[in-house]
A and B are shown apart, each in its own frame.
Chain A
Amino acid sequence: MKNILLITLLFTTTIIAQVQPKDSAKAYKKRVLEKMEVDFLSSYYAQDGDNAAVTGGIGTEELTDLATNIVVSIPLNDDDVLTISAEISAYTSASSSNLDPFDSGASNDDDDDDDDRNGNSKAISTTTVSPWVESSGDSKKDTWVNGNISYSHSSDDRNKIWSANLNFANEYDYTSIGFGGSHTWLFNEKNTEVGIKGNVYLDTWSPKYPTELDSYLEADQNLNNGFFSGVDILDQNGDIIDKDGINVWSPLNNTLIVDKSRNTFSASISFSQILSKNAQISLFLDLIQQDGWLASPMQRVYFGDRANYYIGNAASIDNYTSPTNRDVFQLADDIERLPDSRFKIPIGVRFNYFINEIFVARTYYRFYSDDWGITSHTAEIELPIKISDKFTLYPYYRYYTQTAADYFAPFEENVSTQEFYTSDFDLSDFDANQYGFGIKYTDIFTKLHIWKLNLKSAELKYSHYDRSTGLASDIISLGFSYVFE
């Protein structure tokens, strides 16, 4: 790793030092951005699968998300551009709803949490409790909002660009504050570009836990109190347990999140080179260090070496892992536990080739490795076809593969003696195929307009994603770019 860093830094500084003087001549100064531009982008995403992490690696992963992003780029003068971005993403998720699978939708307290934080008696539904059934709890939906402001300055010869950015994001269990900066150098008559970038995200959990774990602590670890009062707990044979007996359900740990922070520090180096009149390439190297609570507090784990306990219909226990199970739910052994540090190295290469006036080939490859034992490869190809002077159609294919994290095991296959464990299939061994197409309308003369917004381009893209774990998803995106007169 040190070798890569040294070589990359040496390479960067050497070419900057060698080539920069050639571009010192003053040139005609064109405005970096002529007029204010406004970009709108909306997307609809839907997925389904059978390995929900909230319910320990089995259960419905059904999820829909509707997201919109508005970006306004404002030229402040010839050299400076201020960019403001706002984004909102609203989702509904069957698996998240099962943070509290027992939610009947009829609460007799004013607490808007899914669980019973106050220890008050709350109506518990045991008739439709299952990893395969969406609960009516508040956690089935959420809204993520994000705001970003960035400022960039270009030098008079346009061979140096620096920028700084501030970022804020919030959702019901997570808040993030981020900031960063970048510097870019262009030389070789703008045939070569080198950039460095740094970003810091200081994130904080407002943790929400699986309701039985949280409620157990709220009830002072007494199964006759609070949430568990009056509720029958069943063993693997379907027999009602004696809550005052020896063989009773209890979580592995009586502490949940200790450190609510989650910080990300990233450094990036990029290099772009025009290879010929028809080809160009870019390389990206990121170094990312994450610290803090890197596991999700919502995600259950069930151990293979601990007895199983349930709430619901005893007759359905033998059928627990089948999607036909609609009325029994297994009490969690713990939330997932992962190391408090993670170091990631993704390296990407993008190569574009102008084949002729009709076809362009856009390709991308990424190698990724981290110290949780995951390595992955990503390959993409896109073939834009100019079907007229204003319309471009682009078919698209992407292949992705990854190895599993050292701490992953499916439902009931982790053991309680492990230090770290998860049944999140996003950290499992899988490969995925994604394919689709897009169509883009471009009008350099911006003839179409709404009020003072002149349409510069419009783009529609659809793609389908299939993962070898059984998860499948579809996403459709629609974007418009306007020039403000």
Chain B
Amino acid sequence: MLTRRSFLQSGVTAAALAAGAGPSRAANAPGVTDSEIKIGQTMPYSGPASAYGVIGRTEAAYFKMINEQGGVNGRKINLISLDDGYSPPKTVEQVRRLVEQEQVAFLFQTLGTPPNTAIRPYCNEQKVPQLFVATGAAKWNDPKHFPWTIGYNPSYQTEARIYAKQILATKPDAKIAILYANDDFGKDYIVGFKEGLGASHAGMIVKEATYENSEPTVDSQVVTLQGSGADLFFIVATPKFAAQAIRKSFDLGWNATRYITNVSVSIATVLKPAGLEKSKGLITGGYVLDVTDPRYKDNPEVKAWKAFTDKYMSAAQYIDANAAYAFGAAATMIQVLKQCGSDLSRENVMKQAANLNKFAAPLLIPGITINTSPDVYDPIRQLQLLTFNGTSWEPSGGILQG
């Protein structure tokens, strides 16, 4: 009986024979020939999350540039990027197509927590590398149970741990009030934050308040939190609610140190609606540099990014933070392929993805590097603390490790 696995294995053998691989060395992955490496991806080009589609387009453009420069070790990158509409059933279908029909060597930057959760068992069962998934959940760092899935973004927990450590270092007697979204996003931060403070400092948190995404405002929560007498306000909120919390805490005359999560630091969509003057003094942690910041005007990576977007994309993508993020992720994948050398088996691809050492991906804030090992599957664990000075985010202090 032809089971799925034996069918796939026969496919692997056929591909290896077609590629002319000798029997003496480990077979290259399917999709790898002397002139090409075929890789797969799912992206929400349609549907509610289609704003992220720019990530897939940037990566395709990046590989086009690499190919025009001669590829990696003479092999061109062929990225097959399919639309899944951010719907997990469609993601499963598209990934099965990529693996079984298109015979890709591995997956790269499949986007979204639910879509990646849906395909993770399949990828690990089939032993197909699921590289650098584009999501901020903490669960991708689980090499023991899912050795074929590796994350990329700093997780919410990592970020929260960094804030906690920073608070312990700079304001050890702070009385902390937290506003957070009552969902997995909010809870991930709380878990990381409490872990970072440690059990002995848990008493520093004097008040917590939650909000539901369906609520019109968080004003009453902010009033309650101020009433607790806290002098440090940690805002774990999505853009709309973050803007409300910033404005309300200022209007109340609450003179607290304010930390805000990385998801709500956009000057255009959060700080301007809240009021730039009212946003002064906010502290956050970042890892992708802001290309519009005049401070980085002469940074060679920013110049390379400008040249890249001029040639392959457009001015709109130049200022898009998601596109800048994708630029770094694509470069990280090329680094993995370079490290693989001539052994492009799936085992080696995974091994090299878990063997990145101080790789400075382009457009990461200078000083932040990518580090992985066989038991550490969260590549970015560092953040640069940033303080808002009324016009832009200004780096303060050194790089912090989560």
Verify that A and B bind, or say they do not. no
